[in-house]
Structure 1
Amino acid sequence: MCTHLGEAMVLGRGARLLAGAMAVACLLLMGPSAPGDALVVRPLPSDAPRDVVQNRVMTWNICNPCEESDVERAAEIATYAPQIVGMQEACVRDVERIRAYLESLYGLVYHVEYGTVLRHRGRCGGTPWNPGAFGQAVLSAAPMTDHVNVEYPDGGSEDRGYMAVTTTVDGEPVRVFNTHLAHRRQEAIRAGQTDVLAAAVARHERAIVLGDFNAVPDAPELARMWALATDADPQCHPPSAGTCELTTDWHSKFDYVFLRGFAPLEHRVHPTPYSDHHLVHADLGPRNRTPRSAP
């Protein structure tokens, strides 16, 4: 029952919030997400959206193993309430909790698909015979279809891959990809992974590619992605990559929202204490629209 709350509840926001007690009971049955994790609801900023923001997409490497609170992770996402969220370094159990908190505490209902690339007790807990699933995940306020999960032929020092789903953005179907490329200092491996990903992306005129690419914008291994798509940060493109907003605690841009068939109307990067990667989100429109200037 707990894993199907989002599909079962198609009520208005007020009615969904009244169902919070049932969802919270499910969360308690699932157990804590990290040592000291408690159901303490952090008030959102006064200007936080009250419902999902249509055509807003987000990418976030949520950090693992970091023992962060899934309650706080949910609050970070709810502060911006994107229509689509791509998460990397995601354990299935953590995503289940985040999704349930988003619904029970903030009235934000999401569908979910997973891009598991390995089962690892050190990453995600569990038992030696049933370790937790680790990889990518996509939350979407609109239904998703045609889910695929692809492991790269060479993951490098750890298995890596991409997942893809079809959903609706700006009233039209779009293919959404979510990936996490090989660790830093594995440039040749990332180049091979980007070749695999780019070949899949190239088949779609309308595509959104979210992820942690572990590479700065002018890295050679990203050349095929730049040939296919633009970044949601309108000032960010090689060779003038010095104008890109940084997305990590170590002052690099590794996190991207690549677009085909869309224009970014607004792009934001938000540092967070709950991960070594910042939250990156963009509001999208048709390709011929003019981006809004930042205040």
Structure 2
Amino acid sequence: MLGGTRLLAGGMAVACMVLVGPSTPSGDLFGRSLPAAAVRDVVPNRVMTWNICNPCDENNGGRAAEIATYAPQVVGMQEACVRDVEKIRDYLESLYGLVYHVEYGSVLRNRSRCGGWPWSPGGFGQAILSAAPMTDRVNVEYSNGGSEDRGYMAVTTKVGGQSVRVFNTHLAQRRQEEVRADQVGVLAKEVARHDRAIVLGDFNAVSDAPELTDMWAQAADADPQCQPSPTGTGTGTGTCETTTDWDSKFDYVFLRDIAPLNQGVHPSQYSDHHLVHADLDLT
């Protein structure tokens, strides 16, 4: 009788696992279903930018589910720890069948940011996931990062079946306008070298902030309604949709000689920045 009870208990446990699904290391369910409207494969002409927030409560299974809901061809992440990105990529493949290549643009190796052993701290900075292979990666640390090291990375990959240069950056924190202006100058000069480019990132500045002037001279936002104000006062976001929990537009998909089709902005419980994705016409 005891053996039969054990078999029954074991069978019930297996049934529960099938119904409920496995858990992340932190105990959160990560095999959850996607929303009914979620895509089931990578959208080849869709790009996304997302500051995944660090330090925040770590939930890489939840982060992967958010990305899988929109399944972009290219994802640019900021405040990204290498170990977190590795887990996110693994979840995207194992749970949702979305296979991405990854390149890193780490600018810090800091145990307080990303954990790791004292002699091997985690890399912190930017990362790009792409469904297509990436080539010609560059990783540049701005000579003046402000209160924390900052930089940009760039790769060549395919979006909408076309080869394009993709940049990903994170500019200096707020109240460091002069530092951001220097950083934008460096980034915009490199973007200008390419006939077509996509620039993803957290610029820590609203659309009409003076420090973004050089960027606007090279590219337009994926949302055609989002433009700098004619006065350039830096006092508001105009008609730009806000991308942060504090109602500011800081996150951009800048396009150089590429036409936007539509843009989506989606708040997330896993970050103080929203996911921003854009569908593009590269023909």
- TM-score of the aligned structures, taking structure 1 as reference length: 0.84
Q: Does 2:261 match 1:265? A: yes
Q: Which amino acid in structure 2 is aligned with residue 285 of structure 1?
A: D
Q: Does 2:192 match 1:188? A: no
Identity %: 75
Query: Which residues in structure 2 correspond to 1:192-203 (within 5 Å)?
Result: 192-203=182-193
- Inter-partner Cα distance in structure 1 for 2:27 and 2:71: 22
Please name the residue that 2:18 is paired with. none
Deviations 1:234-276 (A, max 9, x none): 1000117410000000000000000012111010100111100
Please name the residue that 1:218 is paired with. 208
What's the C-alpha RMSD, in Å, of the aligned pairs?
1.7
- Inter-partner Cα distance in structure 2 for 1:38 and 1:245: 31
Q: Give structure 1 regions of 4+ aligned residues with deviation exceeding 4 angstroms.
A: none
Q: Does 2:251 match 1:255? A: yes
Give how far 1:286 is off.
Answer: 3.4
For structure 2, the 5+ residue unaligned runs are: 1-21, 231-236
Please name the residue that 1:40 is paired with. 30
Please name the residue that 1:113 is paired with. 103
Query: Which residues in structure 2 correspond to 1:75-114 (within 5 Å)?
Result: 75-114=65-104
Q: Does 2:60 match 1:70? A: yes
Note closer, same or farther for the CA distance 1:37–1:164 as it changes in structure 2 (3 Å cut).
Answer: farther
- Inter-partner Cα distance in structure 2 for 1:39 and 1:108: 19
Please name the residue that 2:167 is paired with. 177
Q: Which amino acid in structure 2 is aligned with residue 81 of structure 1?
A: A
2:112 paired residue among 118, 122, 136: 122
Q: Which amino acid in structure 2 is aligned with residue 220 of structure 1?
A: P
Q: Which amino acid in structure 1 is aligned with residue 223 of structure 2?
A: D
1:278 paired residue among 270, 274, 281: 274
- Inter-partner Cα distance in structure 2 for 1:220 and 1:197: 15
Q: Which amino acid in structure 1 is aligned with residue 151 of structure 2?
A: G
- Inter-partner Cα distance in structure 2 for 1:101 and 1:122: 24
Number of aligned residue pairs: give it.
257
Q: Which amino acid in structure 2 is aligned with residue 276 of structure 1?
A: D
Larger radius of gyration: 2
Please name the residue that 2:151 is paired with. 161
* Residues 64 and 88, structure 2, Cα contact 8 Å, conserved in 1: yes
Give how far 1:38 is off.
Answer: 3.7
- Inter-partner Cα distance in structure 1 for 2:282 and 2:87: 34
- Inter-partner Cα distance in structure 2 for 1:40 and 1:109: 17
- Inter-partner Cα distance in structure 2 for 1:283 and 1:168: 14
* Residues 102 and 128, structure 2, Cα contact 8 Å, conserved in 1: yes
Q: Which amino acid in structure 1 is aligned with residue 141 of structure 2?
A: E
Please name the residue that 2:11 is paired with. none
Please name the residue that 2:233 is paired with. none
- Inter-partner Cα distance in structure 2 for 1:82 and 1:156: 31
Give 3-state SS (helix, strand or coil) of 1:143's partner. Answer: coil
Deviations 1:30-52 (A, max 9, x none): xx4xxx35453221011111100
